[in-house]
Amino acid sequence: MTEFNWQRAVIKVGSALISPDGHQCSAKYLLAIARFITESREQGKQVLIVSSGSVAAGRSAISHNAHPSIAEKQAMAAVGQTQMMANWSRFFDFPCAQVLLTYDDFHDRARYLNIKNTLRELLNNNVLPIVNENDTVAVDVLKVGDNDNLAAYTAMVAEADTLIICSDIDGLYDADPRLNPSAELIPSVEQIDGSIYALAGGPGTKVGTGGMRTKIEAADKCSESGIQTLIVNGGKGEVFDALLDGRIPGTRFVPTKTPDSAKAQWLKHTLIATGRIDVDQGAREALMDTGASLLPIGIANVEGDFMPGEAVEICHQGVPFAKGVSLYSAAELNVIKGMHSDDFESVMGYSSGDAVVHRDDLALL
């Protein structure tokens, strides 16, 4: 069995585990998951939860027929979300944070940056982020559509190395086990192609939405970003004992890249630089030799008309040596360049943090 190594994980918990009876929150399956999270944190690892269950939890509060409308489901989610958060919170002695996101939040540069910065702050402060789709504002065309894909986007923005999808089934089988009792579990998937997608059927319960297909889509996205994905049975306590023991009890999707190489590739080749920042010799050395973030004090000159979240080339005497994501606009940098981080808040009236380009968002060329 492959050894399970990880440092930062997103744990996705499906509706079937939050609300096994389909109309209220239950603690039944969450205790083992919560214990896994607490013990992992005690070992110095970082965890985020992506939790479904708000629609199921709020179901009995909203009148509906057999097929609730979108508005009815959105109203159920609004009721159920607080119950779902309260249900999780009682398992932890540390604070939990509610984070509600939609698909378009991940595709808007400024919002993406804010999500990333918020999650980073929460993790730095040992708070447990609990993410769900913001069902009130999600509309069909913009909807992530299911929390499996939401969990993949969350893993990417949080720079997790692992996504653990907890479902009501042991992992990916070579056929839908509810329809085919002789289906066999696939312990490891090296390459996600059409033949893997062809194995997936729809959801197993009336509260689940995506079935196996959306789990494979999530694994596909993560794999490309260097993130390993596990599908495990979150309804079995022994699964979490195995994970704590460094064993993988379900299906593991092997990433096709390392997170560092995926990120470096994204920064160097995918992002298009829309501006240039020229830095002094001291800043160049700090970035090249000590792995520091770029601070405004080292900036000599700014070219271009970029906004926060856009990529910039970082140069010394006109020669590019790094590329990264600027947390400030060109206009802001023209005001704060050369200043101590302590001073620019008084000049601008606000601060988006000390770093202009955070080390995590910077690649040396």
Ligand X SMILES: Nc1ncnc2c1ncn2[C@@H]1O[C@H](COP(=O)(O)OP(=O)(O)O)[C@@H](O)[C@H]1O
CB of 323 to ligand VHF, least distance (A): 36
Residue 208 found at the interface with ligand X (CB under 6 A): yes
Q: State the residue for tokens 């390459």.
A: 191
Residue 209 marked as a ligand binder: yes
Residue 80 found at the interface with ligand X (CB under 6 A): no
The nearer residue to ligand VHF, 178 or 276, going by C-beta atoms, is 178
Task: List beta partners, residue 317.
Answer: none
CA dihedral 338, 341, 347, 353 (to 10 degrees): 120
Looking at this protein, which amino acid is placed at residue 355?
A
- Considering only the stretches 112-120, 151-159, 162-170, 217-225, report the one whose residues sit in contact with ligand X under the rule CB under 6 A: 162-170
Enter the tokens of residue 254: 């092997």
What is the C-alpha separation between 76 and 71, in angstroms, rounded? 9
Q: What is the DSSP letter of 297?
A: G
The nearer residue to ligand VHF, 167 or 326, going by C-beta atoms, is 167
What is the C-alpha separation between 101 and 81, in angstroms, rounded? 13
- Considering only the stretches 8-16, 90-98, 218-226, 323-331, report the one whose residues sit in contact with ligand X under the rule CB under 6 A: 8-16
282: which residues sit within 8 A by CB, 6+ positions away?
Answer: 298
Task: List beta partners, residue 50.
Answer: 12, 131
Enter the tokens of residue 106: 């991940």
Residue 26 found at the interface with ligand X (CB under 6 A): no
Length of the chain: 365
Residue 102 found at the interface with ligand VHF (CB under 6 A): no
Helix runs in the chain, H state only: 15-18, 30-42, 54-58, 70-89, 103-107, 109-124, 147-157, 194-197, 211-224, 237-244, 259-265, 281-289, 330-336, 341-348
Residue 211 marked as a ligand binder: yes
CB of 334 to ligand X, least distance (A): 48
**Nearest alpha carbon to residue 33 among 158, 166, 146, 219:** 166
**Nearest alpha carbon to residue 232 among 163, 147, 181:** 163
The nearer residue to ligand VHF, 208 or 226, going by C-beta atoms, is 208
Task: List beta partners, residue 173.
Answer: 185
Residue among 147, 229, 293, 329 that touches ligand VHF (CB under 6 A): 147
CB of 145 to ligand X, least distance (A): 11
Residue 22 found at the interface with ligand X (CB under 6 A): no
- Considering only the stretches 136-144, 197-205, 276-284, 339-347, report the one whose residues sit in contact with ligand X under the rule CB under 6 A: 197-205
Residue among 11, 14, 20, 306 that touches ligand VHF (CB under 6 A): 14
Residue 359 marked as a ligand binder: no
- Considering only the stretches 11-19, 68-76, 254-262, 272-280, report the one whose residues sit in contact with ligand X under the rule CB under 6 A: 11-19
- Considering only the stretches 21-29, 92-100, 203-211, 343-351, report the one whose residues sit in contact with ligand VHF under the rule CB under 6 A: 203-211
**Nearest alpha carbon to residue 116 among 56, 158, 164, 161:** 158
Residue 209 found at the interface with ligand X (CB under 6 A): yes
Enter the tokens of residue 121: 């702050």
Footprint of ligand X (CB under 6 A): 14-16, 167-169, 172-173, 175-178, 199-201, 203-205, 208-212
User: Which residues make up each annotated binding site?
Assistant: 12, 52, 135, 147, 167-168, 209-215
Site residues for ligand VHF per CB under 6 A? 14-15, 52-56, 77, 132-133, 135, 146-147, 208-210
Where is the binding site for substrate, in residues? 52, 135, 147
